[in-house]
Amino acid sequence: MHKVVVGALVRDGRVLLGYRSSNKRAYPNVWDLPGGLMEAGESELDALARELDEELGVQIATTSASHLCRLTAGPADEPALLSAWLVRGWQGTPANVAPQEHDDIGWFGLEELPPLAHVPVRTALVQAVQSGRG
**Domains within the chain, CATH numbers bracketed:** 2-130 (3.90.79.10)
Quote the CA–CA distance of 39 and 102 in Å, as a whole number. Answer: 20
Distance CA(8)–CA(66), nearest Å, equals 10
Give the burial string for 21-39 (b: 16+ CB within 10 Å, else e). eeeeeeeeebbbbbbbebe
Tell me the H-state helices in 57-133. 119-130
Q: What pLDDT is stored for residue 111 in this prediction?
A: 93
Q: How much is the pTM?
A: 0.92
User: What's the whole-number average pLDDT of the chain?
Assistant: 92
Mean pLDDT of 107-112: 95
pLDDT of residue 25: 77
d(CA 125, CA 30) in angstroms, rounded, equals 17
Q: What is the mean pLDDT of residues 122-133?
A: 90
Residue 70: the pLDDT is 97
More confident residue, 22 or 37: 37
Q: Please write down the HEC assignment for all residues of 3-71.
A: EEEEEEEEECCEEEEEEECCCCCCCCCCEECCEEECCCCCCHHHHHHHHHHHHHCCEECHHHEEEEEEE
Q: Do residues 50 and 43 touch, judged by C-beta distance below 8 A?
A: no
**Rounded to whole angstroms, how far apart are CA atoms 102 and 124?**
23
pLDDT tens per residue across span 46-89: 999 999 999 999 999 989 999 999 999 877 788 899 999 999 99
| Residues 34, 102 contacting (CB under 8 angstroms) | yes
pLDDT above 80: residue 105: yes
Mean pLDDT of 84-112: 95
